[in-house]
Amino acid sequence: MEATTLTENVSDVEPSETLTFWKSMKEEAEKTYALLFYNRWPSWLAGILMAILALMIFLWHFPWGISGGYHNWGDWLYYLSGVTDTRPLFPWLHPVSVLNIGMIGGALVSALLSREFRIQKTSQLEYLKGILGGMLMGIGSAFAGGCIEGGFYTAIGIFSMGGFAMMAGLGAGSYIGLRYLIWETDNMPQNTAYRQPVSSRKQRFLNWQQAQPYLGGFIVLAVITAFYFYSFFDVTEIGGICFFGMLVGIVMHRSRFCFVRVFRCPLMTGDAEMVKTVSLSLVIYAMGSAVIKWNFLQPDMMGVYHPFWIGSLIGGVFFGMGMIIAGTCASSALWRMAEGNTKIMAAVISFCIVNPLVTEALKYSGIENLLGTGVFVPKVLTWHITLPLYALFFLLVTQLAVWNEKTEKFVIF
Amino acid sequence: MSEENIKSDKILDTRGLTCPMPLLKVKKELKGMKSGQILEVLGTDPGSKTDIPNFVRKRGSQLIDLTEDAEGFTRYYIKI
């Protein structure tokens, strides 16, 4: 009180209490927290951030993918149940698995900091669709040598021709999947899939809503600590992957980024937003990977193994059907699962069980050899032709999507 | 059922369903309703909070109200 009377005489502008450095910092932190975690991030921003993170992961270790991690988890299920006797790489040392774990962690951080974590239960039919969709996605990933991220997004971003073949397949698969969903709503109407949430049944001793942000902060610290642990044991690279995974998880959850929408929305509502977003993201991704590959920072053929064109195309069709029926793709499954969605958990488990099985079957039957090989676009067309053609292609795709939004030419119902 | 003054002509329960089912059902339901009628949608999917308003705006209908129920789900009132 004494302090304020002194300042009052000096100037009439400033205030009854002094603004200390710490107080100012606290105010700013609260404002930033509200900005980041009370609002949804716009999808275009997420598209740009995703491309930047994908490029960082590419420079740090490898081109980004998801299904390799699911494959590793599936291998463990088979190993632990005694079906196979070769021990797979530990999930905390397998790079793709670590990236996935980082993403789940990041999505959990985001869900907790925004107080959005809640176990969501659903009907038997929905669980069945989750399992079936997961199986189809597992089969599709085995054929295409990757899921919608590794086989489509990253493949196109690093100029692997298979990515374009998978894109066509995903379009066809989405069409079939959506046709099924429409048939289902007409013929198998569900009156309700609602199950009362557990937490509202009784008063908890702990205020869960209040506790969520603290738990979220704790996970951030845990991931950062994990990085130092990895570094201490001489696997800094894996630690970095985990950290980048967390950032991807946060970006995806805050913006509810979902690759399925690229293919579903133009057919369902005509909405072109995600087509524009992912096209923008892929142009940035490609610019970055052109810098990296043309300049020989990473080898030309790195990550270019997608079986062009039969494997990628067939894989795309299976994956497309699966993602529409399950209501998720491989990457958005990670953040939806972290948000408490139990249908998606069922989809992930069936993906993990089916994917290694089909991959092995393709290998041993020799079918794998018929599916095609990795084709690096600039090797066929040269960099000088590839780059303008690439830009033109995505300009055309976005224009087509915008035209469809106005005319609803491709909207199914 | 609700304390609101808005009188809905039809109620669509999408609780427990996740993306894209709620939006698909809303689209189907709206097709069968007449201009001026009000559809009340109940939902638990967090994604619907942006999906449904966007879709309603796009098709030229109006989202009159969006309320959070104490039980943990959202009510959307859409005027065709």
The residue ranges of every structural domain in chain B are 3-79
Cα A351 to Cα A167: distance, rounded to the nearest angstrom:
20
pLDDT in tens, A50-78: 999 999 999 999 999 999 999 999 999 99
Give me the pLDDT at residue A12, please. 52
Cα B80 to Cα B59: distance, rounded to the nearest angstrom:
9
Q: Which strands make up the sheet holding B62-68, listed edge to edge? A: B10-13, B38-43, B74-79, B62-68
The confidence band for A191, taking pLDDT boundaries of 50, 70 and 90, is low
Of B29, B38, B45, B51, which Cα lies nearest the Cα of B8? Answer: B38
* ipTM of predicted complex: 0.90
Cα A363 to Cα A334: distance, rounded to the nearest angstrom:
28
Give me the pLDDT at residue A76, please. 95
| A345 at interface of B, judged by CB pairs closer than 8 A | no
The CA angle A340-A137-A323, to the nearest 5 degrees, is 60
The predicted model scores a pTM of 0.90
The confidence band for A5, taking pLDDT boundaries of 50, 70 and 90, is very low
List the single best residue of B15, B18, B48 to mutate versus A (max A Cβ within 10 A): B18
Q: What is the DSSP letter of B60?
A: T
The confidence band for A4, taking pLDDT boundaries of 50, 70 and 90, is very low
The confidence band for A169, taking pLDDT boundaries of 50, 70 and 90, is very high
Contacting residues of B for A336, CB less than 8 Å apart: 18
Percentage of chain A modeled with pLDDT above 90 = 77
Residues of chain B that touch chain A, judged by Cβ-Cβ distance less than 8 Å: 13-21, 23-25, 27-28, 44-47, 50, 54-55, 58, 71-73
The CA angle A220-A346-A264, to the nearest 5 degrees, is 85
Give me the pLDDT at residue B19, please. 84
pLDDT in tens, A266-313: 999 999 999 999 999 999 999 999 999 998 888 888 888 899 999 999
* Nearest neighbour of A126 by CB, restricted to B17, B47, B58: B17
Instruction: Tell me if the domain spanning B3-79 has CATH number 3.30.110.40.
Output: yes
Q: Which residue has the higher pLDDT, A204 or A119?
A: A119
* Nearest neighbour of B18 by CB, restricted to A40, A190, A343: A343
| A196 at interface of B, judged by CB pairs closer than 8 A | yes
